[in-house]
Amino acid sequence: MLRKYSAIDLRGIRNDHYDHVVGLVGDDCDFTAVMIMPDHLRGIKDIISNKRPDVVFAQGKDLSTNRKIIESSEVDILSRPYPIDDTLAKMAQRNDKCFEICARDIIRLKGYIKARAMQSLAKTIELAVKRDVRIVITSGARDRLEVLTPRELVAFGVVLGFEYTRAKGAISNVPRAFLSERGLL
C-alpha cells in the first residue's frame, strides 16, 4: 500500500492530493497568491495593495529582472528562476527568497525550447543547492486536468537533478516552513 505524501502545492488548485494549496487570486484554494509579471515590477506595490495576497510570486525573465525581483522586499518567491548566476543565488539566500519550479511551465514547452529550459533549470538547481537557497516544486495547475500528484512532482524534481529527499522536501517541508514563517499555518 502506498503512503500518502504530506504535501503543499504553492501554486495550484484545491484537490485531494495536497494538505494545503496556494492559488492565484480567484482560484479555489486555501491561501491566495498573486503573480507579478516582469513588465509590471514597477507597479508591484499597487498590485499587492489591491489584491492583498498571502504569497507574492514574481516571474523571472533575465539576469537583470531576476536581480530586481531578488532585491525586492515585496516578493516572496521567484518563479522561473532561470537564468541565474552565483551572485544572484547568494543574494537570494541572503534575502531569504524561494525559487519556484513549476511543472506546468516545463510540461507545456516543446522540443528544443523544453530541452534548453530543463538545462537552465538544472544549472539553477545546482547553484541553489550550492548556496542553500530554498526551492519549491509546484504543479501550477489551473484546472482539474492539470493536477499532478505529489509523487509526480517528486519524480519531476528527480528528473531535474534533485536528490529524492530534497525533491520530497520541496513539496512538503520547504512550503510548510515558508507558510509557517508568514503565520499562515
Domains and CATH numbers, the chain: 8-180 (3.20.20.140)
- Whole-number Å distance between alpha carbons of 52 and 34: 9
Q: How many CA atoms lie within 13 A of 123 on its CB side?
A: 14
**Cross-strand partners of 138:** 102
| pLDDT tens, residue order, the chain (185 aa) | 456 677 889 888 888 889 999 988 677 789 999 999 988 888 888 888 888 899 999 999 999 999 999 999 999 999 989 889 999 999 999 999 999 999 999 999 999 999 999 999 999 999 999 999 999 999 998 888 889 999 999 999 999 989 999 999 999 999 999 999 999 98
- Whole-number Å distance between alpha carbons of 174 and 34: 19
DSSP one-letter code for 9: E
Nearest C-alpha neighbor of 99 from the set 71, 117, 125: 125
- Whole-number Å distance between alpha carbons of 166 and 44: 31
Q: pLDDT (tens digit, 9 = 90+) per residue, 120-146?
A: 999 999 999 999 999 999 999 888 888
- Give residue 46's region: left, alpha or beta (phi > 0; psi -120 to 50): alpha
- Give residue 101's region: left, alpha or beta (phi > 0; psi -120 to 50): beta
DSSP one-letter code for 40: G
What pLDDT does 1 receive? 41
Nine-digit cell string for 110: 516543446
- Whole-number Å distance between alpha carbons of 159 and 43: 36
What pLDDT does 29 receive? 86
Entry field: residues in the chain: 185
What pLDDT does 2 receive? 53
